[in-house]
């Protein structure tokens, strides 16, 4: 049996691929899904489907209500940008950025990893084809790994150094999709849209949908997720 690892599983394309890679590398994944006050429950349902299909050792769905703070189109009553009009300046951080989300998610994963006596945490962040979020960069992950060494009993005692795995960090979206398809990921179970309709069909126009659709096109594959008629 392999070592335990905590895998952050949002229900989206990237986290499902990161989970498949953890399995391929011989880890026994324990999946963690955060209900953080996002606009819809579709991605939580998708995470449950993915976790069941990949037979994770344990799947925990828990809550931390970032909607209490707002400040993002995903956790506040703000319009989700469509058609690439999220910002006039491509260097700007878009309004779909949720303040400190990955810091909070990794902190939750770290707490569970310490309880499980696990040293490895997987997160599906990407620094190539992404929306410009500051908490998807290698520098952030390295800093968090250092924090884990300073702020946990396991880290201070030196008995179990923590490692943050970001296997998708340097891949394009097309490369991520090809990697996942080779590992047998059923992307029809995943959901990535920021603003799906009541039937669970993706809008096809938000940043997340545009990146996903462009990735499938570049990979020469069809996206099996449902989309609204356009």
In contact, 189 and 177? CB cutoff 8 Å: no
Task: Spell out the residues 6+ positions from residue 108 whose beta carbon is closer than 8 angstroms to its own.
Answer: 32, 34, 62, 64
Give the Å distances, CA to CA, from 189 to 46, 145, 217.
6, 31, 18
Give the Å distances, CA to CA, from 144 to 44, 113, 139, 199, 221.
25, 14, 9, 38, 35
Q: What percent of the chain has pLDDT over 70?
A: 94
pLDDT value for 96: 82
pLDDT value for 188: 96
Q: Which residues sit opposite 161 in a β-bridge?
A: none
In contact, 189 and 16? CB cutoff 8 Å: yes
pLDDT value for 180: 98
Indicate whether 131 pLDDT > 70: no
For 103-117, 169-183, 199-213, which range has the lowest pLDDT when averaged over its residues? 199-213
């Amino acid at each position: 049996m392999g070592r335990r690892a905590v895998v952050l599983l949002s229900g989206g394309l990237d986290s499902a691929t990161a989970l498949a890679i953890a399995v391929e590398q011989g880890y026994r994944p324990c999946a963690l899904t955060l209900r953080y006050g996002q606009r819809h429950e579709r991605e939580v349902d998708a995470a449950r489907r993915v976790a069941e299909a990949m037979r994770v050792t344990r799947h925990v769905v828990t809550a931390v209500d970032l909607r209490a703070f707002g400040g993002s189109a995903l956790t506040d009553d703000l319009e989700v940008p469509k058609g690439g009009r999220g910002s006039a300046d491509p260097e700007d951080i878009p309004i779909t950025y949720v303040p400190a989300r990955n810091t909070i998610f990794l902190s939750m994963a770290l707490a569970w990893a310490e309880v499980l006596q696990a040293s490895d945490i997987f997160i599906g962040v990407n620094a190539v084809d992404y929306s410009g979020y500051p908490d998807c960069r290698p520098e952030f992950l390295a800093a968090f790994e250092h924090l884990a060494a300073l702020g946990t009993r396991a880290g201070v005692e030196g008995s179990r150094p923590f490692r943050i795995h970001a296997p998708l960090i340097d891949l394009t979206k097309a490369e991520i999709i090809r990697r996942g398809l080779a590992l047998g990921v059923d992307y029809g179970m995943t959901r990535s849209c920021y603003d799906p309709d009541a039937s669970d069909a993706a809008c096809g126009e938000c940043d997340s949908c545009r990146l996903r659709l462009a990735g499938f096109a570049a990979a020469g594959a069809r996206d099996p997720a449902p989309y609204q008629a356009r």
